[in-house]
Structure 1
Amino acid sequence: MRKKVIVIRLSSLGDVVLSTSVIEILEKKFDVFFATKKYYQHILKNDPRIKGILTAEDSSLKELIKLARKIKEIKPDAILDLHDKISTKLLRLMVDPFQKITFVWDSQRIERNKALLKKDFRNVRPVIVRFSEIASKLAGENPSQNHALPKIFPPPHPKSQKLKKFIQESQERRKNIICVAPESRWKTKMWNLTECDKLINSLEKNNFSVAVVGTKKEIEKYFSGGEKFFGELDIEDIVYLISKSHTVVSVDSGIAHIAYALQKRLIVIFTSTKPEMGFFTNDYGKFVEYGNLRCRPCSLIGKDHCPQRHHLCSLIHYQKVEREIKNA
């Protein structure tokens, strides 16, 4: 009987996508199960390599106790914690109190915070490299030979009729689809919406079909072009749209990681963050940045407001992005 491993990554979207990189390493010796928040299970549910997904509604103690019971029921031979937050520490203690079968990734939290203060990230290693290292250790393999990449599987069909119609019409007109995602949950990571709208209109003039995606319905009014999908698509439909896209233009967000995991042509726009901060590797695609601002990066994951109150980093001219699309 094959051994079982439970991979724990409760959130967030991009991190759950990146956590799929360990499956390639682990599946050789283990049946792989995942534990995550219910909202993110849709990233994993179409992956034939995963034997089961265990979910929690949130990180409350009540939900963690329920999740611990689910994990105990499958009787794992190993636990791989790719989160290592207070919530997952508690979860590990409930399932494996003496930490006999637990493996924990190197989050480099101290190193990353030091790097932010110094604005020097040379000693910060990419997330997927650190994921691969601990997965290789668990599998008893050489870490240097197992720098695995994230991989996700789109659903066979979209649920949204609007999305289905958009893709069908684009294909009938033989137009390549470009998916544009200017939004982030953090305001400092969002691209200037005026410049984004200029890009969309220019792409449409060049015979592309453009889909603009996001969760905040209120910013839809800033766009005069493109097919707008704000607050309309669930995660599975977003994955489906990206799988059908020729190119994805995204800020530093989960959308960019989804596109990478689907091996799509990708342009990533960095405003308050930088590519070298550990969440991206050089093979992601093209990176577009404002330039040399002393205040960048101002945080590791983004902020709700610009500390300097100017948000200059978001003022990236649309033609700079368009050039990268043509050169990708």
Structure 2
Amino acid sequence: MKKILVIRLGAIGDVILTSAPLLNLKLSFPKAEISLLTRGYLTGLAGMFSGVDNLLPFPAKASALDLFRMGEYLDKQNFDMVVDLHGNIRSLYLTKHISAGIKVRYDKRWFERYQAVKFKKINNSAPHTIDLYNTAVQRAGGKVFARRPIINLPFNRPRQLNFDRAKKTIVIAPGASYPTKQWPKKKFAELAVEIYKGLDCNIVLVLTQSDADFANLTAGIPPEDKCLFLDANLEKLAAVFSESDLIVCNDSAMAHLGSAVGTPVAAIFGPTHPTLGFAPRGIKDIVIQTDEKCRPCSKHGKKQCFR
């Protein structure tokens, strides 16, 4: 085995989860050159995954012509194996276009997930997405060593936080891919203030422009004990999370990023559910949820709540 291509185009959290099967492939085939095809904006983050030798950027808004050209390019690279960890129409086309001797695709558990969403059939022992990825690795002839996401930060990286290290540092990240997946900002702000008062700790706010007003809701936390990161890139956030003691977030990419750097995560799940396979996978991670009969509302939490 000389050349292996792994395909996972997005989204952020899903790509972070591929860090485990990528490491497993490298440990199983140490002499192979492993390439990862993913969205261009994720290559900086993916560059910190163990086992990846080459990063192949895929356009965020690829046209049919872009897809064809990428297929032509990939076919000329003489890959021996293609591991499709996405399973959508683009990755299926690319996999079919490439002349590789071994081709495997991960099982998305489509029917089980459909039953969970449509009929609320909850399987508390359902396999995690990483386990499904690793099953594809096994079908390709590899072995499973890593079962959690892992990011390797540069050893000599500059410190991102200038807080008093004698205090604990708690990250509050109220964002999510869809508004329906976000616990109310006001509740998050109240929680941040309560945590600060109860633990006498440092508070880090991870925000985007869409929730920049959140900082004003935490006026009860003195400036010297509070730090704001607005629209920070994923590489910087990975370093920030590694210097922290706890990440409090929604069901979002931030949960997987925290797990990948080894920081405990408390993830709030609303319309989604761990049975779908996307819960944070760290040793000390927890999911905060209520057993509403209508959950999960949808696979990715995009649909509006009917209640």
8 Å contact kept, 1:132–1:146: no
- Rounded Cα–Cα distance in structure 2 between residues aligned with 1:67 and 1:242: 35
Sequence identity percentage: 24
8 Å contact kept, 1:55–1:67: no
8 Å contact kept, 1:25–1:136: no
Task: Name the residue aligned to 2:112.
Answer: 111
How far is the alpha carbon of 1:287 from its aligned partner? 1.7
Unmatched 5+ residue regions in structure 1? 309-328
Assess, with a 3 A threshold, how the Cα gap between structure 1 residues 284 and 38 changes in structure 2: closer, same or farther. farther
Instruction: Give the match's secondary structure for 1:203.
Output: helix
Task: Name the residue aligned to 1:76.
Answer: 79
Assess, with a 3 A threshold, how the Cα gap between structure 1 residues 81 and 120 changes in structure 2: closer, same or farther. same
Q: How many residues align?
A: 292
- Rounded Cα–Cα distance in structure 1 between residues aligned with 2:129 and 2:88: 15
Task: Name the residue aligned to 2:152.
Answer: 153
1:1-328 matches, cutoff 5 A: 3-27=2-26, 28-29=28-29, 30-58=32-60, 59-96=62-99, 100-122=101-123, 124-141=126-143, 146=145, 148-155=147-154, 156-157=156-157, 164=160, 167-171=161-165, 174-205=166-197, 206-221=199-214, 223-224=217-218, 225=221, 226-231=226-231, 233-280=232-279, 283=283, 285-289=285-289, 291-303=290-302, 305-308=304-307
Assess, with a 3 A threshold, how the Cα gap between structure 1 residues 136 and 41 changes in structure 2: closer, same or farther. same
How far is the alpha carbon of 1:100 from its aligned partner? 4.1
Q: TM-score, normalised by structure 2?
A: 0.86
Structure having the larger proportion of residues in helix:
1
Assess, with a 3 A threshold, how the Cα gap between structure 1 residues 210 and 66 changes in structure 2: closer, same or farther. farther
- Rounded Cα–Cα distance in structure 1 between residues aligned with 2:92 and 2:72: 15
How far is the alpha carbon of 1:220 from its aligned partner? 2.6
- Rounded Cα–Cα distance in structure 2 between residues aligned with 1:170 and 1:95: 53
- Rounded Cα–Cα distance in structure 1 between residues aligned with 2:109 and 2:211: 37
Unmatched 5+ residue regions in structure 2? none
8 Å contact kept, 1:25–1:139: no
- Rounded Cα–Cα distance in structure 1 between residues aligned with 2:261 and 2:86: 23
Cα displacement string for residues 125-162 of structure 1 (whole angstroms, at most 9, x for unaligned residues): 21111111110221354xxx65632211235536xxxx
Cα displacement string for residues 267-313 of structure 1 (whole angstroms, at most 9, x for unaligned residues): 11111112222112584612211x232222211101253232xxxxx
- Rounded Cα–Cα distance in structure 2 between residues aligned with 1:133 and 1:48: 19
Instruction: Give the match's secondary structure for 2:45.
Output: helix
- Which stretch shows the higher mean deviation, 3-12 or 17-26? 17-26
Q: TM-score, normalised by structure 1?
A: 0.81
- Which stretch shows the higher mean deviation, 280-289 or 7-16? 280-289
Assess, with a 3 A threshold, how the Cα gap between structure 1 residues 132 and 204 changes in structure 2: closer, same or farther. same
How far is the alpha carbon of 1:91 from its aligned partner? 1.3
Q: What letter corresponds to residue 248 of structure 1 in structure 2?
A: I
Regions of 4+ moved over 3 Å: 155-158, 216-219, 281-284
Task: Name the residue aligned to 1:323.
Answer: none
- Which stretch shows the higher mean deviation, 202-211 or 7-16? 202-211
8 Å contact kept, 1:54–1:67: no
Instruction: Give the match's secondary structure for 2:140.
Output: helix
- Which stretch shows the higher mean deviation, 7-16 or 115-124? 115-124
- Rounded Cα–Cα distance in structure 1 between residues aligned with 2:211 and 2:251: 20
Aligned-residue CA RMSD (Å): 2.3
